[in-house]
Amino acid sequence: MAGLEGAFLCLGNPLLDVSAVVDQAFLDKYEIKLANQILAEEKHLPMYGELAAMSNVEYIPGGAGQNTTRICQWMLQVPHATSYMGCIGDDEFGRKMTEVATSEGVNVRYQVDAATPTGTCATCIVSSERSLVANLAAANNFKLDHLLLPDNLALLHKARVVYCTGFFITVSPASIEHVAKHCAENDKIYAMNLSAPFIVQVPPFKKVLMDALPYIDFLFGNEIEAAALAASEGWEGLSLEQVALKMSRMPKANGSRPRVVVFTQGCDPTIVAVGGRVSKYPVMLLAKEQLVDTNGAGDAFVGGFMSQLVCGKDIAECCRAGNYAANTVIQRSGCTFPAKPTFTWN
């Protein structure tokens, strides 16, 4: 595992997950749906205090990209194999997040906005399904200038794989453009995630995604996001396999490698489209009573996948590691993991 320091870099929205088991009445009160991710509006803000007062509340460092980075770091077990950038506040939540991610070996390079609190994500759990409501706060204030600081730019130049979540589209399109072009010009791998249906349903966000698409070597999403993408392109009636193929064939800036499109679909096989072909990779099945919480499963899949990708492994190994990581996380509360992975490297 030599030479892996700085191999993976992620830009995203660092959020502290405020996680609690709630009931349907709570979801109805705040007009939120299970298996969905939205940005908080005014009507949602009292929710955070209500969750914090619950006896079963947990605080876990989160944000999709940070989850993926922490999982990738955990899989690799090489200090500072991964780096992460995003914006936090100068407060207790921000300090807690820094402390946890650093203790796990991630090289965190947060921009600190002293005027704005650290972002939070309400994770409302009903019988192992969840609804996420993100109050970005400081996470919304990341600037390209932070990435361009010499020490941070050095991390970009060192990275083999650079990853941005779709959620980051709402924050810093300029940063996405910068890292995407850097990867294409230097024959590195650039990856993105659809992240949530609203990213493709809101025209300004969809435009950022489609502008970045020529630079995207690996595109991730789940079946709900893939269906929303298909609808936004007017591809109703196409199967997920056909949608993945169509996305893989869209024009590319770096012709030296084909685009790989990866759609997870819960307990059904992972769909991978590349080079005009679709493959399916089965997930590790789990007894229903072992399923604790699906929060972070998709993030964990990408983290496991990336741990193999930075080592030059093939797609089958990347998917195997992704499914192992997701399987581990869904047996625990939130995006958490044991001290060491039991994954067998091939």
| Residues designated as active site | 299
- For strands 260-265 and 268-274, give the pairing: antiparallel
Q: Are 39 and 166 in contact (CB under 8 A)?
A: no
Which structure tokens are listed for 326?
A: 């997701």
Q: Are 109 and 155 in contact (CB under 8 A)?
A: yes
DSSP characters for 45-63? THHHHHHHTSTT-EEEEE-
Question: How far apart (Å, rounded) are the C-alpha atoms in residues 82 and 72?
Answer: 7
| Three-class SS state of 25 | helix
Q: Are 106 and 82 in contact (CB under 8 A)?
A: yes
Question: How far apart (Å, rounded) are the C-alpha atoms in residues 184 and 255?
Answer: 9
Q: Are 113 and 146 in contact (CB under 8 A)?
A: no
Question: How far apart (Å, rounded) are the C-alpha atoms in residues 290 and 293?
Answer: 9
